């Protein structure tokens, strides 16, 4: 029986998009789709890596971190002449250095700047001691990988790129593939871009789409670098046509939404000349008493849609400010049994400790305003009571003293002078 493979290699940005596309291609709700080549870019790398002739093992992120920490703590004799700067911040208990260095090395590799090339750049440009030390660390870390017969994910991609360019290796996964499709791709690295280019050289046709609307450059500016990258791809290969690259068209929705979006920021004078449209049910406005009621109404609507068979990925909710809505959304959605995941986590300034630290900056900005100083001193992160000459001073007692002293801020009267005057008043009262 001859094996049948799809002639189209279809790369999508996320695993969720892959699942949606697979379900779309299934003839019914159940069954199996065999021979497809619909996957994400990391899945493509995993599939192609199976045919690489190298015996090196892929080291996961945790292993990379442990390897680099060990190298920083116990470098080979030839590499022990590290500057005092890196020696001081590579002590045990400071894992941040290894994470930062790994991220930096990864960015260099994704830009196709390998250790030898980076060293040459630093030396040719009369780099600083710190830059030269970074180059040595980059070289040393890569040598440790080679010594252990290991590679990281970027070394793996490099090997695949070299194999695709040489044409010496026949990738079994690419058997029968004639066309490459990449949909909704944004911000690929230089290394990924070169892999895509090498793939197109062995195929008959290539098509890339980017979620970009050239008529709304203000909103899609973050994608301009990706657009330029793929537009220039047409100059390097005849198998790629950038004409149909943009898939976003302005205002595809029907009903009142295009009308609202076109006029929402116009002044009352401009709106006076616009004829209102009758309601058609496409846009609904709800009234709620407070944020909780508002989110609960949203949760009920989503729950009804899910019960009607609508897929979760087809539902989107846009909030004005997640720092206000985040915890409420998490609580309400969990109660309603709605799938929820915050990719960015809670805002940093929602942490009580961070708020206390930021209060110190606000104290200086406010010219040592009384309320800001008391807010800082009353924080749970400030150790009170303070021991005075005769008795302990609690936060409440300190606040009472500040209020009785008449302190407002440093512009009105410096703290030292205000408290000194208050002390003299107390002394006079004691003498009386």
DSSP code of residue 9 = E
Burial 195-213 (b: 16+ CB within 10 A, else e): bbbbbbebbeebbbbbebb
DSSP codes of every residue in 312-355: GGG-----S-HHHHHHHHHHHHHHTT-----SS-S-GGGSHHHH
> How many percent of the chain have pLDDT more than 70?
80
Q: What is the pLDDT of residues 178-228, one digit of tens each?
A: 888 888 877 889 999 899 888 888 888 888 888 777 666 676 777 778 877
DSSP codes of every residue in 223-253: GHHHHHHHHHHHHH-TTB--TT-B---S---
d(CA 20, CA 371): 55
* Confidence band of 297 (pLDDT split at 50, 70, 90): very high
Please state, as a whole number, how many other Cβ atoms lie within 10 Å of the Cβ of residue 125.
9
| pLDDT number for residue 368 | 80
Q: Bigger pLDDT: 157 or 69? A: 157
Q: Quick check: 135 and 40 in contact, CB under 8 A?
A: no
> How many percent of the chain have pLDDT more than 90?
20
Rounded (10°) CA dihedral 273, 274, 279, 281 = -150
How far, rounded to the nearest angstrom, does the alpha carbon of residue 427 sit from its chain's CA centroid?
Answer: 60
- What integer is the mean pLDDT of 148-170? 91
| pLDDT number for residue 112 | 94
DSSP code of residue 221 = G
| pLDDT number for residue 2 | 45
* Confidence band of 376 (pLDDT split at 50, 70, 90): confident
Q: What is the pLDDT of residues 4-51, one digit of tens each?
A: 567 889 999 888 888 888 877 776 556 666 668 899 999 999 999 999
The tally of CA atoms less than 13 A away on the side-chain side of residue 262 is 14
| pLDDT number for residue 251 | 44
d(CA 119, CA 116): 5
Q: Bigger pLDDT: 66 or 246? A: 66
- Which range (272-281, 395-404, 412-421) has the least confidence? 395-404
| β-bridge partners, 160 | none
- Alpha-carbon distances of 269 from 256, 273, 371, 393, rounded to whole Å: 21, 7, 44, 62
- What integer is the mean pLDDT of 369-395? 69
Averaged pLDDT of the chain: 80
Structure tokens at 273: 């000349």
Phi/psi at 426 (5° precision): -60, -40
- Which range (294-298, 340-344, 350-354, 366-370) has the least confidence? 340-344
Structure tokens at 283: 């846009």
- Cα separation of the two ends of the chain: 111
| pLDDT number for residue 250 | 44
Look up the pTM and report it.
0.64
- Which range (266-270, 271-275, 341-345, 388-392) has the least confidence? 388-392
- Which range (175-184, 308-317, 389-398) has the least confidence? 389-398
Q: What is the pLDDT of residues 60-94, one digit of tens each?
A: 999 999 898 888 877 776 656 555 566 556 655 55
Residues 6+ apart with CB under 8 A from 247: 183, 184, 209, 210, 211, 212
Q: List for the chain the helix, strand, coil content (%; round to 5).
A: 55, 5, 40
| pLDDT number for residue 240 | 62
Q: Quick check: 261 and 219 in contact, CB under 8 A?
A: no
- What integer is the mean pLDDT of 158-182? 88
Question: Is the per-residue pLDDT at 244 higher than 60?
Answer: no
- What integer is the mean pLDDT of 112-141? 87
Residues 6+ apart with CB under 8 A from 39: 10, 11, 12, 18, 47
């Amino acid at each position: 029986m001859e094996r049948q493979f799809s002639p189209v290699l279809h790369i999508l940005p996320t695993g969720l998009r892959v699942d949606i596309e697979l379900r779309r291609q299934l003839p019914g709700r159940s069954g199996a789709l065999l021979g497809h080549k619909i996957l994400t870019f990391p899945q493509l790398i995993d599939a192609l890596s199976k045919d690489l002739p190298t015996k090196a093992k892929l080291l996961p992120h945790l292993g990379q971190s442990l390897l680099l920490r060990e190298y920083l703590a116990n470098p080979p004799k030839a590499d022990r002449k590290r500057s005092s700067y890196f020696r001081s911040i590579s002590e045990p208990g400071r894992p941040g250095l290894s994470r930062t260095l790994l991220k930096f090395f990864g960015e260099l590799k994704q830009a196709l700047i390998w250790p030898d090339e980076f060293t040459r750049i630093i030396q040719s440009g009369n780099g600083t001691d710190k830059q030269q030390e970074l180059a040595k660390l980059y070289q040393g870390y890569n040598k440790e990988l080679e010594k252990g017969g290991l590679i990281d994910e970027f070394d793996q991609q490099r090997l695949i790129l070299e194999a695709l360019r040489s044409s010496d290796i026949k990738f079994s996964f690419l058997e029968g593939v004639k066309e490459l499709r990449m949909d909704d791709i944004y911000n690929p690295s230089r290394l990924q871009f070169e892999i895509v280019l090498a793939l197109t050289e062995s195929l008959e046709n290539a098509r890339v789409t980017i979620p970009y609307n050239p008529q709304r450059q203000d909103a899609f500016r973050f994608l301009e670098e990706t657009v330029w990258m793929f537009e220039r791809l047409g100059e390097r290969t005849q198998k790629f046509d950038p004409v149909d690259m943009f898939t976003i068209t302005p205002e595809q929705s029907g009903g009142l939404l295009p009308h609202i979006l076109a006029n929402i920021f116009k002044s009352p004078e401009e709106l006076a000349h616009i004829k209102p449209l009758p309601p058609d049910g496409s846009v609904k406005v709800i009234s709620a008493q407070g944020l909780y009621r508002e989110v609960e109404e949203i949760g009920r609507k989503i729950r009804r849609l899910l019960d009607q068979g609508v897929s979760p990925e087809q539902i989107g909710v846009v909030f004005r400010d997640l720092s206000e809505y985040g915890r409420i959304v998490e609580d309400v959605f969990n109660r309603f049994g709605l799938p929820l995941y915050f990719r960015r986590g809670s805002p940093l300034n929602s942490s009580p400790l961070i708020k206390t630290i930021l209060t110190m900056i606000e104290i200086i900005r406010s010219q040592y305003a009384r309320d800001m100083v008391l807010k800082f001193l009353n924080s749970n992160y400030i150790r009170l009571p303070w021991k005075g000459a005769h008795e302990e001073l609690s936060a409440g007692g300190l606040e009472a003293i500040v209020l009785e002293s008449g302190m407002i801020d440093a512009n009105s009267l410096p703290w030292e002078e205000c408290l000194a005057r208050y002390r003299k008043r107390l002394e006079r009262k004691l003498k009386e």
